[in-house]
Structure 1
Amino acid sequence: MILIVDDRPENILPLKKILELHQFSVDTAESGEEALKKVLNTGYSVIILDVQMPGMDGFEVANAIAGFSKARDTSIIFLSAVNKEKQFITKGYTSGGVDYLTKPVDVDILVLKVKTLHRLYEQQQELRVIQASLSKEVEVRKQAQEELAERIQELRSVLASLPQMAFTVGIAGKIEYVNEHWYLYSRHSDAFPETHPDDSDCRDWQEHFQKGMEYTREVRLLELATGEYKYHFLRITPIRQQGEIIRWVGTFTDIHQQKVATELLEQKVELRTGELLTKNVELERTNHELQQFAWVVSHDLKEPLRKIQILNDMIKEKYLKDNEAAALLVDRSINSSARMSKLINDLLEYSQLSVSTAFQPTDLNELLTELLMDFDEVIRAKKATVIVEKLPVLDIIPSRIRQVFQNLISNALKFSKEDVPPFIRISACFVAEKSIDAAPSALGKYCRIELTDNGIGFDEKFLDRIFIIFQRLNERTSYEGTGIGLAIAKKNIDKHNGLISAKSRLDEGAAFIIVLPVVQPEG
């Protein structure tokens, strides 16, 4: 919710209506005291605060709000028609404001700022929820670790009490000594316990005995008292003195419980694996349904937009020929509808990038020849020159690489200098490594494609931003666009196991570099 604080209702009403048109919930206060009472009871994402008010002025209100824990994530925008000097602006920021705007205010800029701050507020709230969840998870993990430590201690006690048979064998191969546990499984001190019919006899250690090697194996032994076969781990180790074997020491360690637990765990793992496979199938189906839903929603959103554009055109033609001011407003509405339609199309394309498509060998020359036909009118209108050098055949998804070039060429034409015809060059070479700056190599397994232009360029310090969705380096009023094109290009190149980057300077054009495998790796 947005709170507007101003002692003059005639200032509050138009700003409230504008924000409500942008789907914001708006609350108002006509004094600093009233605003403080509301902040105590309600959480606001943004407070638009007038500086010049009777009683408590805006700075005093901001200082008071700063002490409220409920408003710790709330952003304050100061508005002032009188206090425009640097000292007041500085005081606004030191009082806790995130922005200081002087009247008359550009409404579009104010709405954009409110949207950004509101989005930051929502993200902060989500982050706090995540932090609380993480704290809870840490506590649960800590408790689990404590329980695990207790279980380990119990396990150690159990291991200490496990029955273990011990015996020694002389160098002649005869049993010399057995402990008391031996008689749980054998009636004679010179005879090995009876093994399970499916297990080989324990005497197969003779080969290791001849070679002087340690012998280990798992074996099931018949317990005399119960008549059950239980798993044991047999280890027979040579004891040497001055390099010579003087005797052998053997142990049968009861591992029956661990073995049963392992078999039970394997059964559970197998069951869980089956459940995960089922869930994976369900997720794939859900993903497909979401893609279908995105297409339907975009179609349903575009239909009323088309009607809005048509109706606005009819109103302008029939009723506003002699009213320039009203016609200007209608034009803005038509342009906004067109931008919304473009945004819906771009978002739909972005959402469909996760769909799997097969790679196939494709001649990039043919792909670009066909693509440039779509730009014929723009190229003629701007008197642009597009040079495409010889390009190779690559293993790609044609429709997606077409999207990449379409966005890059469109940007090169769009961000051209005034009164300077655009000049675009597309070239390629093979390189040995998957690197933007790799040296050319005729036998390289990768292809580096470079698209250069003579446009307005950009500052390379913003390089990391240009491939992020909705990130723009230029004002929307100067250059149209949704901020999605390069994000789509980046996602498509990632899908091709490639790289995309750019080099540029302001007013010196830009170069976009793509590195793609000549042949896509299997899988």
Structure 2
Amino acid sequence: MILLVDDTPENLISLKNVLEKHGFEVDTANSGEEALKKVLKNSYVLIILDVQMPEMDGFEVAEVISGYSKAKETAIIFLSAANTEFRFIAKGYSSGGLDYITKPVDINILLLKIKTFYRIYEQNRKLNEIQLALLEEIEFRKEAERKKDEFISIASHELKTPLTSVKGYIQLLERGLNKGDIDIVKSHLAKAQIQLEKLNGLIADLLDISKIESGKLKFNKQYFDFDQLLDSIIEVIHQSNPGFNIEKNGAVNVKVFGDEMRIEQVIVNFLTNAIKYSPGATKALITVNLRNNELYLGVKDYGIGMRADQIERVFEKFYRVEETSHRFQGLGIGLYISAEIIKRHGGAINVRSVYGEGSEFYFTIPVEQLSSEV
């Protein structure tokens, strides 16, 4: 917007009409005081300022405006009929003017100058936007690099842990075989198998991350019995954690159209997290039902819980709660993968949590993806 400042009304009207005919948005002020009030309230790209005005001349107005942080990018063009000497022109430039034009004004030259200024202004604005975007992009590269380095460090440690355990059990197996102690051999084999399953899970998660980022995470959707799947998962989890009780509340009695293995992956992640992050607790509660035309499944634990700031980030890739990272193993990608799976089923995933009391992770799948008939 352009602000015209002149104490002669006919000058304001004529110049305003010309500029508006050429597509410029124009505001006016008939004194220096009024101009200063408007500059404080509005943003102007250009101020065309008459030099000869009573009480406060154009030079004084320009000097005051130069002290406004809001108007530091605003350009000023002086117009003068009487003060045409070099010393006045020099004062205009020293007062912060972009140009000094003497009257009578050649309107065509004034329009060319205004258009040229607007073109320069737009170019500078775009350059500033590009510079800001580049700075933001650089910071995002830096952050991505930091996260990548942190993840590589975590992944190396997490992968090394079960590998080291397997190597140790293999050495113990060799000793057991040499001694002919079959019971010890069986025990070490079982423990080695547990570590290999952990390793396999970590590798599978890493592969899923790669597939998600490359857009190649595949889904094999078909109808399956959701209640049957859930009962099967609970049985398997109970076998590997016999001291932990999983209570089930509700049923849906419908067949779901989706990827059974991927949905299982999400539920298993919820349950294993419930066990992992509930030291000292002995139970978790699964709630499953149909509500608001959606299938709802929630896994409630009675563990360490999370603060509000942690809840906001828990589904982010590679996020691990800082104070628990040294106590609990994991890559920080299970919930991120789970969120992607549920998203690809048209659903939503979330968590409710109270710090020190426990959490309930849950997901919903729209009823449009459900059917009581195959």
Normalising by the residue count of structure 1, what TM-score does the alignment of the two structures yield?
A: 0.35
Query: Of the two, which has the highest radius of gyration?
Result: 1
The structure with the greater share of residues assigned to helix is 2
Normalising by the residue count of structure 2, what TM-score does the alignment of the two structures yield?
A: 0.47
